[in-house]
Structure 1
Amino acid sequence: MPLLVMANMQQKLEKVVQLKLFAFMAKLQADDALPGLHIEPMVNAADARARTGRVDQGLRAVLYKIEVPSGPTTYVCAGVYEHDEAIKIAKSQVLRVNPVNGVTELIAAPTPAAPATQAAQWVHEPPTSQKPFLDQFGYEAEDLTSSLGFDLETAERLLAFAAEDELLAFAESLPNQWQQNAALGLAVGDSIEGIKTSLGLGGTESDTAVPPTKERPAEVAPSGSPEETEASELLESLKRPASQMQFTFVDDDEELRRVIEGGDFGAWRVFLHPEQRAYATRTYKGPFRLTGGAGTGKTVVLLHRARELTVDSDARTVLTTFTRTLASMLDRDLRRLDPQLPRAAQLGEPGVLTAGIDQLAHAVRDAAESSGWERASIDAIGWDAERSASLVSNATGWDEAVFDAKPDLPSELRSPAFMESEYLQVVLPNGVTSRADYFAARRPGRGVALDRAKRAQVWSVVEQFRRNARAHRRLSWAELSSVAAAYLDAHPAERPADHVLVDEAQDLTPSHWTMLRALVREHSNDLFVAEDSHQRIYGQRVVLSRLGIKIVGRSRRLTLNYRTTQQNLRYALGVLEGGEFTDSEGSPQDEQGYRSARLGPEVRVRGHQTPSAQYDALAQQLEDWRAASGDVDSIAVLVRTKGATETVVQQLATRDVPATEKSARDKVRVMTMHGAKGLEFSRVVLFDVSEGVVPNKLALQHAAPEERADAELRERSLLYVAASRARDELIVSWQGAPSSLLAR
């Protein structure tokens, strides 16, 4: 029974072609001798392994047949094309192992004049009147050839381009994924060793072969003849991480169908970057943090890691994120990744449990023994909150508490927003239940000093808040997490998880973190955290080491964006300029080094004199996109507030443009910037990014005075999140005057 390897040729196949290709490959995997497959060798082909196979009367699959005496035949499928084009490609391309870096690649047939020409023909000669762009980084041709594995012609072209955009366009045209990624690393000035390490080319920890699966041989011993040795080396090369960016072994029909039909997410989950694969599979001696900008693949790494930790084991793996909606998307994508992966129905069971962070706290309460839960609540919040207590938002009750307590404090400290923040940032994470505890508690990062007199007045409001909550039998969501943490710490034998993986970690509260730490005992691979401080749109800054989560020395950053174009990424990063961002260890974070794997049109920023003119322009743009592609489902209009979504839908309806606030076929999606978190669309309009609208006035007014600057930073992050939702085209619209946050 042959083995199948699918090459990611980035083809967009119509559904009917997908079905035909699946049927052909399934038959090939079952029996490659079937006469209807017409597996035919090429006459005068550059690669003797080249074949074509009949997908239908007009379509042929381009294949490479690898035969070794000690194992099954392997077929590499390099795409499906019209008959004549397939014959031409099969005759002119060579599947080989790069002699420098050992990566499997498809190259144009070598010629005597250019022994290893790999680059696609470039229609414009690189300009010579300007200083080459890469000169600033000090690269030499030998670095690109002898160290990375580029052929000399490609290396010289890369080194000759004067403009970054021309260099990036050339990189995008290169035929192999390792070449594209290496060229992107060069474009941002990565060191040669850094590029090799990220691609798994330097014999580092990431240079790990893909594990054998089912009939895939664990190792193929070289045979005597040169042809057999070459075939064995090619099979081994296909298992290297850098090869796996472009080639993946297919083990069964279900996986074959997912590879062919997978779409954008399918490409990410199958063809991983070696750096992503390393983070998904390594063993860590404690908590590990993976950072990276929007679209760099943090979530994909989490999904693969969940599978890695759980498959073929009885591990209890928890995969969680900030909201229930985001958790449901994680659950959907995990099922796409591996439908057979063991799933847990509830917390504490073997398999992967996917849940929102507050759902986890609720699950701990549901499973807790009543008296133990009541004791834990006394330890955490000072009163015995029974499991029947109703759950309310973290803001509920602070207006009432301030009014009842009438603290003798300056007006800025009497605000409910300040009191709520003090409770979330200081009182709950420190387990403060008495005045003496509060006087002794440290308050780093709070931005305002409190002497003993002021602390006494603040504590009087906290006591009133808790008295009122007890009287009404209500518990905030943050309190629920704190009580859950106290319960688990008091019952260490009942910790319900072996591994905890956290997505969108930048938005979690201190109480969330204390609960997550309590869910799993301290051991190897206990906590894996994915975050992007630039996308913190909800919570305040958190320093994990203050909450018992020690990550120092176990943190890495992803920089290659797979979602959006370089033009869109550049614009989104421009929104961040002027903000001061820190990560969950309190270290400064910048946007340097981020790059995209794709190019596209420039971002268009449009100003309008009146609201009516802005709506007219929006309607016309949506109609233009609809006429050009017909793919309405991939278009989104993002606005700052919920009220604005309703207005935009109504205004578009009066202009005969079908739109909806919910997902619906053949209608443009209108949603808030917050609601778009975790989603992506082909075309996006950021609508009414005007002065007085973004930043949102109410969001700034409701923030405590000492947190006003941080509230403004969250508004900047929100605009960055919204801009980074666009895969292909991004338009930014304003009327009257533009927002001060818009990239210049």
Structure 2
Amino acid sequence: MEFRIADTFTDALARLAANEQKAVKTTAFDLQMDPSSPGLSFHRIDNSKDANFWSVRANADIRIIVHKTAASMLLAYVDHHDKAYAWAERRRIEAHPKTGAVQIVEVRERVVEVAPQLPFGAPIVASGAKPTKAPIFKSLSTDDLLAIGVPEDWLADVARATEDRFLDIAGHLPAEASEALLEYAATGDLNRPAPARPADPFAHPDTLRRIRVVENAEHLALALDYPWDKWTVFLHPSQRAFVGKEFSGPARIAGSAGTGKTVVALHRAARLVETTPNARLLLTTFSDPLSRALERKVRILVGPDSRVIPSISVASFQGVALDLFQLAFGHRAHVATEDRVWAILAEVSSTISVSEFSERFIRSEWTNVVDAWQVNNAEAYGQVPRLGRKNRMSVKQRDRLWPVFEAARAALLSQGLMTWSQIFGKLTGHFAGRAEKPFTHIVVDEAQDLGVPELRFFAAIASGGANALFFAGDIGQRIFQQPFSWKALGVDVRGRSATLKVNYRTSHEIRQAADRLLPSVLRDVDGVEDQRKGTVSLFSGPEPIVALAPDENAELPTIVDFVKQALADGIAAHEIGIFTRGADQLPRARAVVKACGLSALELSGRGDDPAGRMSVGTMHLAKGLEFKAVIVMACDDEVLPLQSRVEAVADEVELDEVYETERQLLYVACTRARDRLLVTGVAPGSEFLADLKLPI
């Protein structure tokens, strides 16, 4: 007898308390070892339309729902007694008549959340009535719907679904059907999969999305300890195309927050290693915490003992640079802090007569031109691109200013210090002319936060062959770097760039509100467009709340009520995140946690255990994270955008850049929310909140 486990079981298991999970896991092992053991208490689910559903007692109130036949045992669901039975009574497990995939189908007549069912083929509206919105799938035939896996029970509901009603239906459909319909709604293209009817329905690719065979106790332990992150392990068809596609040069995928760019990066990395002899692949992202998260996901994806693991190096941009620097030059690089660089610039500026240039301008010129482009002499300074900078500077002005930067470079060198740009630059020079490169392939996540030095560095340490460079990122989440031309640095992704459209992580309502913060089309310096219009979410949820208070004290109870309601609805403390614009506002966030009677997990690079604690951090630390409920608080006037950044700009174009990245920072924080979002501030509040609110 084959022993199988469904994602509905592991998802339900993750929602139980720790002691309940322990009892369930013990019973699951007993079922696998000897399903006929007299100690196991099986009871048939009499009210289910599927005669193969049984319940198994895990403790006094917890029941495991199994689907038992002569050939197999499937762990299908687990919950408290009444909820477990109700789940089984509303479902059946069967092979789809058209696709052949095994599906866990909700029995339509027992679903009350959706409008009453009408016969398939009946008029969509009564005679003489006018529909408020047209059905979005009216041009699809019955054969079209069956071909993508819509169960027969649900054909009529899908045929009548409007844009507003479809999200109510989508959650009741098998994943392959709802995803294909969402893609059709977004693009107008129906992805009819190639026929795949293996002799064993459980071997069908769509079955394997939700049900896996568990061969032994070790495999079962892994499945129970690592509940499926289905968006990491399984791919939407629109994503799958980019995993295996051959690219003659550098390629990039874009997409708004939650569309699965990281998923594609993970799967592409694994595939490149599996299909390339002697592959040495680097999977990288901009921060250490995110690189650790990527490493965990790689291990879940390929398995802890896979031969793939040794061929994949996972590190942050700076982490891989430090490792290669020591290998290349035999010593560690000593990194200059920003404060130290500013002190050196101030010191040398005071000894060189450049009073016509403000300290603010000198810092900006160093950061965005001299250090970023690794300008090392006056001639190069005269020729360096000044993309996006209003102050063009005459030859005489550059000649007067260059000695400041030359002296600053010399001072850093004399102190044995290097900026990150200098570290990346030195490594680029070391590897650029060498035939043997450290990596055959590089896959970059969060690529929108690559700067000039980093991009040059990665281009220099990859083999340069087909599929050598792959980037995943969202221009709308760029919060660290100024825009620049990738093409000018020899990394041309034109013609090898695409945008993902299906959002897996964020509810329709939150995504729709957050999208109002950004233009519908974002375009990089090289003209590559990210068409954000037409993105759709897989699920619906409550409308996000934007609330302004007369003062900080009045802001507190609104947030506390939001948190307590989330906790009462079953959202755990570690599934709630609170973000502020900067560290100065964090005491207000800590006061919320204290008022809720909880403890705070201060977000950092340490990777602390979040169990039982609410996460608190700045918006910059929100990158790459996900919570069921998010509070973005202290969005006050002069806090967002941050007044000190506005006052520090030395260039009109830089001011536009500050406003753009501050707006994108709010977008990043809001899109960390899966189901619930609260945004608060002291009146009149940030000017960005007017865009976030629902239009009247």
Q: 2:470 aligns with which of 516, 525, 528?
A: 528
| Equivalent in the alignment of 2:121 | none
Aligned AA (2:139):
Y
- Give the CA deviation at 1:327: 1.7
- Give the CA deviation at 1:31: 6.0
Confirm or deny that 1:703 pairs with 2:649.
yes
Q: 1:564 aligns with which of 506, 511, 529?
A: 506
Aligned AA (2:465):
H
Q: Deviations over 1:393-429 (max 9, x none)?
A: 495444445444444866599432133211245x32x
CA distance in 1, matches of 2:31, 2:547: 53
CA distance in 1, matches of 2:390, 2:90: 66
What 5-or-longer segments of structure 2 have no aligned partner? 118-123
Cα 1:665–1:8 change in 2 (3 A) is closer
Q: 2:201 aligns with which of 213, 218, 234?
A: 234
8 Å contact 1:393–1:477 — kept in the other structure? no
SS of 2:516's equivalent?
helix
SS of 2:284's equivalent?
strand
Confirm or deny that 1:634 pairs with 2:572.
no
CA distance in 1, matches of 2:408, 2:459: 27
Q: Deviations over 1:145-168 (max 9, x none)?
A: 365453676344334345x33321
CA distance in 2, matches of 1:272, 1:258: 21
| Equivalent in the alignment of 2:165 | 166
| Equivalent in the alignment of 1:323 | 287
8 Å contact 1:144–1:150 — kept in the other structure? no
- Give the CA deviation at 1:504: 1.1
SS of 2:541's equivalent?
coil
| Equivalent in the alignment of 1:684 | 630
Confirm or deny that 1:644 pairs with 2:610.
no
Cα 1:29–1:651 change in 2 (3 A) is closer
Confirm or deny that 1:420 pairs with 2:367.
yes
Q: Deviations over 1:196-217 (max 9, x none)?
A: 4xxxx157xxxxx8xxxxxxxx
Q: 1:617 aligns with which of 549, 554, 558?
A: 558
8 Å contact 1:357–1:512 — kept in the other structure? yes
| Equivalent in the alignment of 1:339 | 304
SS of 2:199's equivalent?
helix
Cα 1:151–1:134 change in 2 (3 A) is farther
* Within-5 A mapping of 1:197-276: 201-202=193-194, 232-237=199-204, 240=205, 242-263=206-227, 266-276=229-239
- Give the CA deviation at 1:741: 0.9
Q: 2:427 aligns with which of 460, 484, 499?
A: 484
CA distance in 2, matches of 1:329, 1:360: 16
Confirm or deny that 1:468 pairs with 2:459.
no
Confirm or deny that 1:180 pairs with 2:178.
yes
8 Å contact 1:683–1:730 — kept in the other structure? yes
8 Å contact 2:564–2:596 — kept in the other structure? no
Q: 2:258 aligns with which of 288, 295, 299?
A: 295
Confirm or deny that 1:592 pairs with 2:533.
yes
Q: 2:322 aligns with which of 333, 339, 362?
A: 362
| Equivalent in the alignment of 1:226 | none
- Give the CA deviation at 1:563: 2.1
SS of 1:671's equivalent?
strand
| Equivalent in the alignment of 1:59 | 63
| Equivalent in the alignment of 2:154 | 154
CA distance in 2, matches of 1:32, 1:657: 43
Q: Deviations over 1:483-520 (max 9, x none)?
A: 11111123332x22222221111111111111111222
SS of 1:679's equivalent?
coil
8 Å contact 2:50–2:92 — kept in the other structure? yes
Q: 1:392 aligns with which of 331, 337, 349?
A: 337
| Equivalent in the alignment of 1:69 | none
CA distance in 2, matches of 1:44, 1:137: 34
Q: Deviations over 1:446-477 (max 9, x none)?
A: 44434433443453443233222223332101
8 Å contact 1:133–1:159 — kept in the other structure? no
- Give the CA deviation at 1:534: 1.0
CA distance in 2, matches of 1:688, 1:83: 43
SS of 1:133's equivalent?
coil
8 Å contact 1:291–1:556 — kept in the other structure? yes
CA distance in 2, matches of 1:274, 1:258: 26
Q: Deviations over 1:207-264 (max 9, x none)?
A: xx8xxxxxxxxxxxxxxxxxxxx98251442xx2x4443333445544433433434x
CA distance in 2, matches of 1:688, 1:89: 42
Q: Deviations over 1:155-207 (max 9, x none)?
A: 44334345x33321122233x11222234334x442233x44xxxx157xxxx
Cα 1:603–1:36 change in 2 (3 A) is same
| Equivalent in the alignment of 2:311 | 351
- Give the CA deviation at 1:677: 1.6
8 Å contact 1:133–1:161 — kept in the other structure? no
CA distance in 1, matches of 2:79, 2:325: 57
- Give the CA deviation at 1:140: 4.0
SS of 1:355's equivalent?
strand
Q: Deviations over 1:701-744 (max 9, x none)?
A: 22341221111111011001111112221111121202111113
- Give the CA deviation at 1:595: 2.1
Aligned AA (1:486):
G
CA distance in 1, matches of 2:611, 2:47: 50
Aligned AA (2:8):
N
Aligned AA (1:701):
E
8 Å contact 1:18–1:261 — kept in the other structure? no
SS of 1:497's equivalent?
coil
8 Å contact 1:401–1:465 — kept in the other structure? yes
SS of 2:314's equivalent?
strand
SS of 2:617's equivalent?
strand
Q: 1:741 aligns with which of 676, 679, 688?
A: 688
Confirm or deny that 1:191 pairs with 2:154.
no
8 Å contact 1:501–1:529 — kept in the other structure? yes
Aligned length: 667
| Equivalent in the alignment of 1:215 | none
| TM-score, normalised via structure 1 length | 0.78
Aligned AA (2:684):
A
SS of 1:4's equivalent?
strand
| Equivalent in the alignment of 2:120 | none
CA distance in 2, matches of 1:307, 1:283: 14
- Give the CA deviation at 1:682: 2.2
Q: Deviations over 1:554-573 (max 9, x none)?
A: 33332222222221111211
CA distance in 1, matches of 2:630, 2:365: 36
8 Å contact 1:59–1:80 — kept in the other structure? yes
Q: 1:725 aligns with which of 672, 681, 687?
A: 672
| TM-score, normalised via structure 2 length | 0.83
Aligned AA (1:646):
P
CA distance in 1, matches of 2:594, 2:38: 57
8 Å contact 1:404–1:464 — kept in the other structure? no
Aligned AA (1:516):
F
8 Å contact 1:96–1:106 — kept in the other structure? yes
SS of 1:315's equivalent?
coil
SS of 1:683's equivalent?
strand
Cα 1:356–1:145 change in 2 (3 A) is closer
CA distance in 2, matches of 1:166, 1:256: 39
Moved more, 94-103 or 559-568: 94-103
Cα 1:251–1:665 change in 2 (3 A) is closer
Question: What is the RMSD computed on CA atoms of the aligned residues?
Answer: 3.9
Aligned AA (1:688):
A
Cα 1:418–1:103 change in 2 (3 A) is farther
CA distance in 1, matches of 2:362, 2:103: 63
Aligned AA (1:354):
V
CA distance in 1, matches of 2:402, 2:549: 51
